[in-house]
Amino acid sequence: MSGRRTAQAATRHGLALVTSWYPRRLGIMAVIDLRPIPFTRDPARRFPQLLGGLVLYGTSMALMIRSTLGLNPWDVFHEGLTRITPLSFGVITAITGIFVLLLWIPLKQRPGIGTVANVLVIAGAVDLALWLVPVAEGLVWRIVMLVAGVVLNALATAAYVGARLGPGPRDGLMTGLHARTGWSVRLVRTGIELAVLAAGWLLGGTVGVGTVLYALAIGPLTQAFLPLVAVRTNDR
């Protein structure tokens, strides 16, 4: 099977194979398999990695919020909803995750342990971090918080996705739409994120330089971290 066909088949299972040019100095193109594997395979490593990644993800969200320099598209939407409801940011992310999971049903996507943990752990982690982390004072500290939030978000994404215990609700929506429509992952993801970004902005969510930085940096950073934390099987 060619590399292209292998990647297409993997996408139909929820998460595509990710190609990484690491380490470049060796001239090796490494293919990282992110498809879910049974929980019974090395749970002592994978489950703590999943939980740690999700806690770190929630913390990175809080850092970007406290920087007040702009959020990623989904968090613009979440923040917008907090402005019209009495609910906390974490509760909003959990409710949104549940609604997104309902969209999996017609797409025939299957949740895993990581999918459920994604909804619950991130919600608690972001609310706790927002309680602990004050709003940044001064432009320098705001920039530091923003950059730290984006980098930690990429590391967190690589950690929980690399644990291979099931995609998060929003990742599964993207790959499910790709599989059902035949549209490219890039087109589907861009369409989803532009839609939630527009809705969040209309609701009063924070759009700024952080939104642009996240859009440009999150993909390359996540791909750079994946080879360091992704769980590999004997056959790959």
pLDDT exceeds 90 at position 50:
yes
For the stretch 188-236, pLDDT in tens is 888 998 999 999 999 999 999 999 999 999 989 988 998 999 898 765 4
Percentage of residues in the chain having pLDDT higher than 70: 86
Residue 42 to residue 163: CA distance in whole angstroms:
10
Say what the pLDDT of residue 29 is.
Answer: 40
For the stretch 119-177, pLDDT in tens is 999 999 999 999 999 998 999 999 999 999 999 999 999 999 899 998 899 888 987 88
Say what the pLDDT of residue 187 is.
Answer: 86
Q: What is the pTM of this model?
A: 0.85
pLDDT exceeds 90 at position 179:
no
Q: What one-character DSSP code corresponds to residue 31?
A: E
Burial group, residue 129, by CB count within 10 angstroms (0-12, 13-18, 19+): buried
Say what the pLDDT of residue 15 is.
Answer: 52
Considering only residues 34 and 217, tell me which one the structure prediction assigns the higher pLDDT.
Answer: 217
pLDDT exceeds 80 at position 25:
no
Phi, psi dihedral angles at 97 (to 5 degrees): -60, -40
Residue 165 to residue 162: CA distance in whole angstroms:
8
Residue 124 to residue 61: CA distance in whole angstroms:
12
- As a whole number, the mean pLDDT across the chain is 86
Considering only residues 53 and 35, tell me which one the structure prediction assigns the higher pLDDT.
Answer: 53
In this structure, the strands spanning 18-20 and 30-32 are antiparallel
Considering only residues 104 and 32, tell me which one the structure prediction assigns the higher pLDDT.
Answer: 104
